[in-house]
């Protein structure tokens, strides 16, 4: 089947997105295929791309309004004008809660629907204890790579449901050198606060 677009995650298990983009551009059949990089760190992604021709870089968690705008730019200039005019309308649903990334949540709720977001929140609630247990195990054994790997997964899971504070804490665990002293207590506090924020998220979705 023909491909219209590649959304390429910058950080992947076996090879990074920049390497995959090079393979795409080296293939004559795919050389002109629109390719967009996704990254939690847009600046780092811009630096890593080097001379690779990309059609855009979007931040994670993905903002669906920005994705719509990019798709309009790539495929429909007239749709871009409509999208720009509609994006100027004020958002009356914001509650400005620091636990949540409301712009991301609004985009997900509009594009995926309330039911899908409720299921995503339930899945996060099921996965959270496992992430915390693995982080605690890594902290006890002082395994930096394992700690950072699990933190990266937690960051992605939190971003997927708009849990901004949890995502920030997971990013810090992933990117900073661990301070082993007191880390276990920090992780338990993270778990407690994440569950509170999850309850806030579920209420936010329910009221949508």
Backbone angles phi, psi at 58, to 5 degrees: -115, 145
Phi and psi, residue 206, nearest 5°: -60, -35
pTM check: above 0.95: no
CB 54 within 8 A of CB 35: yes
The whole-angstrom distance between residue 171's C-alpha and the CA centroid of its chain comes to 11
The answer to whether 6-87 and 102-206 have equal CATH topology is no
Question: Which CATH superfamily groups domain 6-87?
Answer: Response regulator (3.40.50.2300)
Q: Which pLDDT score, from 0 to 100, does residue 78 have?
A: 54
Give the per-residue pLDDT at 48: 64
The domain 102-206 belongs to what CATH superfamily?
Answer: HPT domain (1.20.120.160)
- Which residue ranges of the chain lie beneath pLDDT 50? 79-80, 82-83, 86-94
Residue ranges covered by each domain of the chain: 6-87, 102-206
Distance CA 40, CA 9 (A): 9
* Residue 56 to residue 73: CA distance in whole angstroms: 10
As a whole number of angstroms, the distance between CA 152 and CA 175 comes to 9
pLDDT at residue 180 in the model = 92
Distance between CA atoms of 161 and 158, rounded to whole angstroms? 6
pLDDT of amino acid 83? 46
158 close to 170: Cβ distance less than 8 angstroms: yes
The beta strand positions in the chain, using DSSP E, are 6-9, 35-39, 56-59
């Amino acid at each position: 089947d023909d491909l219209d677009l590649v959304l390429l995650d910058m950080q992947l298990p076996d090879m990074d997105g920049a390497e995959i983009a090079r393979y795409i551009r080296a293939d004559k059949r795919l050389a002109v295929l629109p390719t967009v990089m996704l990254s939690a760190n847009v600046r780092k992604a811009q630096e890593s791309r080097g001379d690779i021709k990309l059609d855009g870089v979007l931040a994670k968690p993905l903002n669906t309004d920005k994705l719509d705008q990019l798709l309009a730019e790539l495929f429909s200039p007239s749709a871009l004008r409509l999208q720009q005019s509609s994006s100027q309308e004020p958002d009356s649903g914001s509650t400005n809660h620091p636990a949540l990334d409301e712009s991301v949540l609004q985009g997900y709720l509009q594009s995926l629907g309330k039911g899908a977001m409720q299921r995503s929140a339930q899945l996060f609630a099921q996965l959270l204890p496992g992430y915390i247990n693995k982080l605690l195990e890594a902290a006890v054994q002082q395994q930096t790579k394992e700690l950072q790997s699990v933190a990266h997964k937690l960051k992605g899971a939190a971003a997927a449901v708009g849990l901004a504070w949890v995502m920030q804490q997971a990013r810090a665990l992933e990117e900073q050198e661990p301070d082993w002293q007191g880390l276990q207590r920090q992780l338990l506090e993270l778990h407690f606060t994440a569950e509170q924020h999850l309850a806030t998220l579920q209420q936010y979705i329910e009221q949508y």
